[in-house]
Amino acid sequence: MERTILHCDCNSFYASVETLLDPTLADGPSAVCGDPESRHGIILAKNEKAKTFGVQTAETIWQAKRKCPDLRLVAPHREEYVKYSRRCNELYLQYTDLVDPFGIDESFLDVTGSMHLFGTGEQIADELRRRMREEIGLTISVGVSFNRAFAKLGSDYKKPDATTVFSRENFRERVWPLPANALLYVGRRAAARLDGLGIHTIGDLAACEPVFLHSIFGKQGDMLLRYARGEDDEPVRSFYAEREVKSVGNGMTFAHNLVGEEACRMGLTALCDNVGRRLRARGMVCQTVQIGIRDPAFHNRSRQVTLEQPTNSTRVLFETSLALLRAHWAMDKPVRLLSVTAANLLPENQACEQLSLFDGPQQAQTRQKQRELDKTVDALRQRFGNRSVMFANSVRKDKKGEPKEQKKP
Catalytic residues: 106
CA 217 remoteness from chain centre: 23
**Which residues, 6 or more positions from 197, have their beta carbon under 8 angstroms from its beta carbon?**
216
Of 144, 166, 142, the closest CA to residue 228 belongs to 166
Question: Do 374 and 313 touch, CB atoms closer than 8 A?
Answer: yes
**Which residues, 6 or more positions from 63, have their beta carbon under 8 angstroms from its beta carbon?**
none
Question: What strands, in cross-sheet order, belong to the sheet with 43-46?
Answer: 43-46, 30-33, 72-74
Question: Do 115 and 96 touch, CB atoms closer than 8 A?
Answer: no
Question: Do 224 and 205 touch, CB atoms closer than 8 A?
Answer: yes
Phi/psi-derived region of residue 225, left when phi > 0, alpha when psi is between -120 and 50, beta in every other case: alpha
Q: How many C-beta atoms lie closer than 10 Å to residue 261's C-beta?
A: 15
Q: How far is CA 104 from CA 209, 276, 279, in A?
A: 36, 25, 22
Question: Do 393 and 264 touch, CB atoms closer than 8 A?
Answer: no
The answer to whether the peptide bond before residue 36 is cis (omega within 30 degrees of 0) is: no
Cα torsion through 131, 136, 137, 140, rounded to 10: -60
Question: Do 287 and 344 touch, CB atoms closer than 8 A?
Answer: yes
Q: Which stretches of 249-389 are DSSP H helices?
A: 261-282, 314-328, 361-384
Angstrom distance (rounded) from CA 107 to CA 35? 30
